[in-house]
Structures are given as structure tokens and as C-alpha cells.
Amino acid sequence: MQYREILSPAGDKERLIAALDYGADAVYLGGKMFGMRAGAPNFDSESLCEAVELAHSRKKKVYLTVNTLPRNAELAILPEFISEAVNAKIDAMIVADLGVMELIKKFAPEMAIHMSTQTGIVNYATANALYHAGAKRIVLARELSLEEIAEIRKNTPEDLEIEVFVHGAMCVSFSGRCLLSAYLADRDANRGACAQPCRWKYYLTEEKHLNQPLEMQEEPEGTYIFNARDLCMIDHLDKLAEAGVTSFKIEGRAKSAYYVAMVTNAYRMAMNAYLQHPEEYHLPEWIHDEVFKISHRRYCTGFYFGHPNACQYYENSGYISECEVVGVVNRCENHWIHATQRNRFFLGDEIEIIAPNQKPFRCRPEKILNADGEEIETVNHAMMEFSFPCEKEFPENSFIRTKVKSPENEDKCIL
């Protein structure tokens, strides 16, 4: 069977470790320049070397984003940036600009090149041209259907890898090529500094199209006409695999370590289930439910099944949170879990403990102790250490969460 990769985001070292712990085959991350997530902490030359060393020690790969559209003044410092990446021994560079591609080929001829979704690859002619120019992988435009992906796979060399996004935030603009942020906030989205104006609320009037009214009466304050739902393909990995996808990419370099861990774990478990029984694939319900237990906007399946009538959400741009992380496991000793607090919870609350490659374990602690061994009713101090008895033991960095009561928790994936 063809290699299938779960590719996770790593905005910093904590998120890198979360991705590796919870089953990513590879991670993508950014340096201090030339990346499309300028707001994430990212990695300097020293921490990049450490990140690659850690990933390689676990037999995982690291891809470096070089996917902004650099201006003339930036080209002079690009060779040094490429040299540092080579010294760090990264496995590939993710590139959007053809000039950057040529410079990488010049200064790092052995470097694998992945063409970014910002390149806008929507047909096999472009895919083949990039392959012959030296690309090892193409990250397809997000606007393609499963049928179009399958046709690209059918008409391209077998050793050209295909990557697509399967989960996370979506952009209202074509493959992220947006000018709104630069125009409204003087922050260039094509240089990694998007202010996300598509999430703002707007009024719209257009005097020449009176016969095409856009209803704008959901809220008196305005409506979110550009706001996109989050992408969620957890139920359809088999269809993507059958279409010829090599790498299944999770968006979220600016998201928390908890988010990265939970989404990676869910897609890892889903992929494992598919690889074990590809002909009789059935996604266990608990895996499906995992992606609803993280903070997310309402879900949809993007363009994969044709025109995405349900991809926009006009009421608001807020997040839905079914659960929140309340602690991180430090160690387990003699059936006691020792952890550090992340959010408040109370004695008597039902909690779930999530470890890599495991179904969440539910329990209701009989007692909770603080760092001094005193019994407490509430874990309510930021980053406080606490412990409680548990019949099972869990590895370091397992997460502890509780359910958040909200009517939005009934939200389901929309096709």
C-alpha cells in the first residue's frame, strides 16, 4: 500500500513535542523569516537544529516553510536562510514562489522541495511542470474536489507526492492569496502577517446588483459574510487515500499544544484504522467525536464533495468548545497521577485523560491533593501542581480535560 503521512503543525517546541508524541509522521514549521505564520513563535537557527534532531531521533521528518512571496530586498538574505536549513538537516522546504524554488536548487541542490498550496495547483499540467522543475511534492489548492485530485494523481508520475489539507481553518480567498488584510490593516497575508479580516463582521451594499440581494438581517450589528467554517475530513480519509493523496495535512501552527495533540491523535487513529482494514474501513465513533472536543469553528468538508454550499457561516466567527484542558500529566507513581494545572476544575468533576494511541479514559477522582499533600476541593491556581489516585497510569504529557456545558456541543460535521 502507498505510504500515507499524517503531517502536523509545530509553532514552537511545545507543539512540536505534542505532534511527535501523538502520532505525526512529519511536522511542518517555520523559521523567523519567510513563513506564512509570522504570529507563531517559530524557530531560530539553534532551535531549528534541536527540533530536527528530536524529530529524527524518533524517525520523523521536518519540513520548513519558505512559502511567503519575498520582495526584492529579501532575496539577498535568502541564501543564508537556506544554508541554515541545510545545516539543520531538515527534510524538505515548502515553497510558493518559483524564484525561491530556483534559489533553493542553486544553494541546496539536494534539498527536497514541496510546492505550497499558495502556488495554486489545480491541474495535472501544472503539477507535471513543477515535477519536471524539481518538485518532490505538491500541496494542492484547497478548492479541488476528490474527482479532480484523482485525475491529477492519474496523470502525474507515481513518485510525485500529493499533499492536501484535511483539518483546520480555511481562508475565503483562493488558496490563501488574500489582499484584504494588507488593504484594511496594513498586514500582508502573503508575508505571513494576516490580521484575519475575513472573520470581521460587515455590511454590504452594491447598487448595480439589486436583483441579487445578499440577505444581511441575521444580526442587527452586521453579518460575517467572509467567515469560513473549519475544515474537517476525519470521516473521509479513505476517500482521500483512494483519490491518491500521500500526505494528510493538519492546519494550526498558531494553535495550542493541546489542539495539536488532540487533532493529531484523532487523525493518527483514523489512519491506523484505515490502514488495518482499507477494504472494510469504518471509523470508530470515539475517534470522530475527538475533533469536536477541541476548540473549533463549525465544521464542513470544504470543496472535496463539489461546490461547498455550507462552507460559509454568517452568524459569527466565534469558536465552539465542548471540552477544555485542565491539566498535563507530569508522572505517574503507585497509581497516583501527578500533574500541572491548565484550567480550573473541581473535586467531583468527571475528567478524561488522553494519552497517545489510546481511547480517552474517563474517571472521577475520589480526592485531589495539592503540592503539599493537602486535600483540596478545587484546582484553581494557574500552573499549580496537584495529584489524584487513578487505576491506570499514563505517560508524561498526557492531557486531562473536562466537558464544557454548552448548547453548541451538539454541532455536527456538515457535508
CATH code where residue 239 lies: 3.20.20.70
Q: Outline where 58-145 has alpha helix (H).
A: 72-75, 78-88, 98-107, 124-133
Domain shared by 268 and 334, yes or no: no
Domain shared by 259 and 369, yes or no: no
Domain shared by 395 and 277, yes or no: no
Query: Is residue 209 assigned to a domain?
Result: no
The DSSP letter of residue 404 is P
Query: Is residue 218 assigned to a domain?
Result: no
Query: Is residue 305 assigned to a domain?
Result: no
Question: What span, in angstroms and rounded, lies between the C-alpha atoms of 68 and 189?
Answer: 9
Domain shared by 25 and 153, yes or no: yes
Query: Is residue 189 assigned to a domain?
Result: no
Which CATH number characterizes residue 328's domain? 2.40.30.10
Give this prediction's pTM.
0.86
Domain shared by 278 and 328, yes or no: no
Q: Give me the number of domains the chain comprises.
A: 2
Question: What span, in angstroms and rounded, lies between the C-alpha atoms of 330 and 369?
Answer: 15
Longest Cα pair distance anywhere in the chain, in angstroms?
74
Here the cell at position 171 is: 481562508
Domain shared by 280 and 371, yes or no: no
Domain shared by 126 and 67, yes or no: yes
Domain shared by 270 and 334, yes or no: no
Encode the chain (415 residues) as per-residue pLDDT tens digits: 578 999 999 999 999 999 999 999 999 999 988 866 655 678 999 999 999 999 999 999 999 999 988 889 999 999 999 999 999 999 999 999 999 999 999 999 999 999 999 899 999 999 999 999 999 999 999 989 999 999 999 999 999 999 999 999 887 665 556 666 665 666 666 656 666 666 666 656 566 655 554 555 545 555 666 777 899 999 999 999 999 999 999 999 889 999 999 999 999 999 999 999 998 899 999 999 999 999 888 899 999 998 666 566 656 667 788 899 999 999 999 999 999 999 999 999 999 999 999 999 999 999 999 999 999 999 999 999 999 999 999 999 999 999 985 544 444 444 4
Give, in order, the Cα–Cα distances in Å from 103 to each of 50, 113, 181: 25, 11, 28
Query: Is residue 199 assigned to a domain?
Result: no
Range of the domain at 159: 5-170+231-284
| Structure confidence at residue 68 (pLDDT) | 87
Query: Is residue 72 assigned to a domain?
Result: yes
Question: What span, in angstroms and rounded, lies between the C-alpha atoms of 32 and 85?
Answer: 12
On the 0-12 / 13-18 / 19+ scale of CB atoms within 10 A, 294 is buried
* Phi, psi for 173 (deg, rounded to 5): -85, 160
Domain shared by 128 and 43, yes or no: yes
Domain shared by 279 and 333, yes or no: no
Query: Is residue 415 assigned to a domain?
Result: no
298: nearest Cα among 219, 222, 216, 410: 410
| Structure confidence at residue 103 (pLDDT) | 97
Query: Is residue 393 assigned to a domain?
Result: yes
Here the cell at position 396 is: 508524561
SS3 of residue 134 by DSSP: coil
Domain shared by 237 and 335, yes or no: no
Domain shared by 348 and 268, yes or no: no
